[in-house]
Chains A and B, each alone.
Chain A
Amino acid sequence: MKKITLNVNGRRRTANVEDNEILLDVLRDTLGVKSVKAACWRGECGLCSVLMYGKAVKSCLILAVEADGAKITTVEGLSRGESLSPLQKSFVEHGAMQCGFCTPAFVLTAHSLLTTNPTATDSEIKEYMSGLICRCGTYNQMLPAIKEAAKHYRKHASDDL
């Protein structure tokens, strides 16, 4: 057991973790961050993606102890209350989800892409998002949703998103 500290969506959280515990389980089970989903537990589906220091990583592949001190963002960190972030709004408007199980990971991953590359081309978006699986096959709604939201990221490229 080791005590680790995480900054999750701007809040300081601590957890006692086993050496072999993965960040995914600590987030979901110990800290109750349920937006982080899991569908393979071995780095293949991308649904457990979180942003670690702003970069998208798969939390099932990271040991909790390695994340000690890290700044973690999950989809809960993108918006407050009933207002949605531009990406979330765009996902809703384009119908970019069916069962929704993959949605938090796709939104978060798209956010990480657009913050670093707000002018991403179609093929850059497709390539970047292809670490994730949506079995419902909602890609054809997600692509325009991401492109639409990209406008907002371009406008605010200099602001802190």
Chain B
Amino acid sequence: MGNEKTRTRYIGRSIPQNDSPLKVTGTATYASDIELPGMLFAKLVTSDRAHAKILSIDTKEAKSVPGVVAIATGSDFPFRIGIYVGDRDLLATDKVRWVGHPVAAVIAETLQAAEEAAEKVQVQYEDLPAVFNVRDALKPGAPIIHEHMSEYRVFPAFSPVPGTNIANKFVLKRGDAKAALDKAHLVIEEEFRMPRVSHAFMETQTVVALYRRDGVVEVWSSLQSPFAARYLMAQSLNMPVNNVIIHHPFCGGGFGGKAGLGWEPLVALLSKMADNKPVKLILSRKEQFVSAAVREAFIAHVKAGFEKDGKFVAYQADFIMDCGGYGDYTVNVSRTTGYAADGSYDIENLDVTCRAVYTNQVPTTAMRGFGYPEGHWPLEQLLDRAAARLHLDPVKIRLVNLVKPGESTTGTGEHLREDAGDPRRVLSTIVKELKPNGRIPESKEPWVIRARGFALNVKGPSQPPNASGSSILKFNEDGSIDLLVGTGLFGQGTTTALCMIVAEEFGLPLEKVRVPFERGTDSTAYTWQTVGSRGLFVDGNATLGAIREAKAKIVEISSQVFRVPKEDVVVRDGAASVRGRPWLKIPLSDIAMAYTYPNGNAIGGPLIGTGTWTSVLNSYLNPETGQGIPSIFHTFGGTGVEITLNLLTGEICVEKGVQVEDIGRVINRLGVEQQMDGGMIMGMSISLWEKMQVDGQGWVTNPNFSNYYIARMKDMPGEIRKVAIETPQEDGPWGARGVGEMTMISVAPAIANAVFRATGVILRDEPMTPETVWLAIREQRPDLLEKAMKALGGTSDTTHLQRPLVRVKSGQNETS
């Protein structure tokens, strides 16, 4: 089924997401739009200390505010939650771990009353020594942020180190990196960094919960993964799983930040406390920045060894990720960064250590492609650096080192399947679309440089080995189909792609296949999570299973009706017919509920197909060496950019982008393009502008969109070329692999490589703001600055130069 490249009705075409009419008319219902009768409102009280013991919480004055129903503090809810490490409290118990840590929650009849009362809650603290960066947190004698680490529930794949601030340590070892580095012709040693960034999904996290009087909790939440949220909530609150019902309305963006479990258990318990009335919590934008989890920051110290011909022989990398106040999901970010540190290259000797380390900063979690943007930021820059040092072309050096599907073994010891994708074609396509070595038009202003650069990427879903999915397909009276799948919907369009597959397989018009937009864990099929670009692959395969089962039933019934062998029956064009005798045909509507003979006898029954999918190949990785098979597929791709760099201001502008991914098979071309454009724009925004600024006391100083700039329409590149390569993967649905996150991974290193190629300036830090870029130019290429100043007619003495005050983006009004 599926994989043959025949003429298709839907597969490969551009189809708008089927929920578009609701979105465009403002009638799609998001969690924030939900109102239940008698609904109350919750407001958080958050810590103004980075690390402090809670001495007392006085709620007397707050309770006197009219409309206040109840106030909860940590001791009311002594539960620990977290997907991989159960290190989170619902409200701080005993102590606070960062500025923004929720300490109490007020429930009131109106949001205004809740807000007013929240300000009146008095918390007495006793400060503890705080630690704000990972290097300090690793020092002997550093303040310990989680003293009770040894009591935490830990998922088997992770290794926290009790008595330290290490939430997880992952090691990948292959060959002998040290010996190979000693012998290498060229060794580059460097440090790279990324800051904390906010997912900044437009809809802040929102939960409505109703703790019913029969002990069942119903939750409507702006989240990605209803089933994971259900299970983790039941597990941490010690409830039967089916007593938790998670409804998944429309969700205003996720990007990983709404994966796993969020505020659902807190709001559920608030509802219970408020006499089983429904309670709603909407995070303010500031709370979303400082009280919820964001993307982690990291420092990577790397050493890369190359031979004369460019062969990448050894890679030693030490990643230290700052997971902030809790490690919950970030422990898996560190694992993934570690096992994927070699990107798409065959490096014989690897020695990678990745530690996730607690600090008294805002906690962190998964974000789009997690582990891979981290690993690719150093890796893809190292290749361009080595190429320059070895007088090789950046394309050439990659050709020397790229993995060869069918032959190569990845760093974790996985033999790359032959149909894993075609990284060489990805590279040649980028070259064709970007022409990195072609003539670059000179800019009219001599202080503005035009440059081209590119970077490759690879990514697979990072999930537990047993993460499975299922699908149920129900026929209706007229032969239309309701498809039940648990994959969440927050803009990626997976369910539209799944409907296309079903419509294609049965030869039905697309309008006849529908996935309910709003789904609940009690009424749809299970899937582990909606993360890691796994949805189409896992739920697509499960759906193909459901299609197979339904088709088998249709064939069974029709063969009886036609009195022909089953092999002779074909299902297509919305009907079952007999091969070679097209006049023998029954429309699916006549079988859907039972086939009825002229005399009224009926056979069959309401048609249902079910399917499941679980990977049989994956395993936990070896705790000492990181060896094993972590992913169900690898998508190879890359990004090219043409930029302008203003030497006088340090401002980088992306003029053109090229996005290439080998996604196996395009199901919905429009969906793929949306991801490629969206990944380009988000990647550009994060790599050029986004950074959560923190002061010396641990306060985030820019928790708003004035001072935390996000790409607007005027910032998008003039042109984004998008190419989907199709090297089908035999076990992918119609040959497809995932694409959603991949599109963001190589944007940052592509930009840095463009700057490096044109100027030789190395950019070690994200974001590449005008200030950091200008300082790097002044430090590394003062001659360029001199020339630029001269061209402008100014001084050529750059020693005392201050970067001119330019208002580049609102909120980035920086001087050096």
Contact = CB atoms under 8 A, between A and B. Distances in A.
Interface of A: 18, 34-42, 44-45, 47, 74-76, 78-79, 82, 84, 88, 91-95, 97-104, 107, 123, 125-127, 129-143
Interface centre among A44, A78, A123 (most CB of B within 10 A): A44
B238 interface: no
Contacts of A93: 16
A41 B24 contact: no
SS class, residues of chain B in contact with chain A = loop
A155 to B, nearest CB: 21
Given A135-B202, A137-B681, A138-B674, 5 more contacts: A36-B26, A97-B17, A98-B491, A99-B252, A135-B682
Contacts of A97: 17, 20, 23-24, 491
A135 B28 contact: no
Contacts of B710: 133, 135
B510 interface: no
A156 to B, nearest CB: 19
B713 A126 contact: yes
Contacts of B29: 34
Contacts of A99: 201-203, 250-254, 490-491
Interface string B484-510: 000000111100000000000000000
The 4 closest A-B pairs by CB, nearest first: A35-B26, A101-B252, A100-B23, A98-B491
Interface in B359-411: none
Nearest to B678: A137
A52 B214 CA distance: 47
Interface of B: 14, 16-17, 19-30, 32-33, 112, 199-204, 250-255, 284-285, 490-493, 670-671, 673-674, 677-682, 685, 704-706, 710-716, 720
Contacts of A143: 713, 716
A39 B254 CA distance: 14
A35 to B, nearest CB: 2
Contacts of A137: 677-682, 685, 711, 716
B677 A37 contact: no
Contact of A103 (B16, B24, B33): B24
A84 B21 contact: yes
Given A100-B23, A100-B250, A44 B202 contact: no
A40 B250 contact: no
Contacts of A47: 202
Nearest to A98: B491
Given A41-B284, A104-B26, A138 B705 contact: no
Given A37-B202, A99-B202, A79 B25 contact: yes
B272 to A, nearest CB: 25
A137 to B, nearest CB: 3
Contacts of A92: 16, 20-21, 24
Contact of A95 (B17, B26, B284, B704): B17
Contact of B704 (A40, A82, A130): A40
16 contacts: A44-B704, A92-B20, A99-B202, A99-B490, A100-B20, A104-B25, A107-B24, A126-B716, A130-B712, A130-B715, A133-B202, A133-B710, A136-B682, A137-B677, A137-B711, A139-B711
Contacts of A98: 17, 253, 491-493, 674, 678
Contact of A139 (B33, B203, B253, B716): B716
B575 to A, nearest CB: 29
Contacts of B285: 39-42
Nearest to A100: B23
A142 B677 CA distance: 11
A143 B32 CA distance: 28
Interface centre among B24, B29, B671, B720 (most CB of A within 10 A): B24
A93 B713 CA distance: 19
Given A100-B491, A135-B202, A76 B26 contact: yes
A78 B682 CA distance: 30
Contacts of A100: 19-20, 22-24, 28, 250, 252, 491
B505 to A, nearest CB: 23
Nearest to B707: A44
Contacts of B490: 99
B705 A141 contact: no
A95 B252 contact: no
B713 A130 contact: yes
A35 B25 contact: yes
A127 B199 CA distance: 24
Nearest to A128: B713
A18 B204 CA distance: 25
A138 B680 CA distance: 10
Interface centre among B30, B202, B678 (most CB of A within 10 A): B202
A91 B22 CA distance: 12
Contacts of A104: 23-26
A35 B627 CA distance: 50
Interface centre among A36, A42, A99, A103 (most CB of B within 10 A): A99
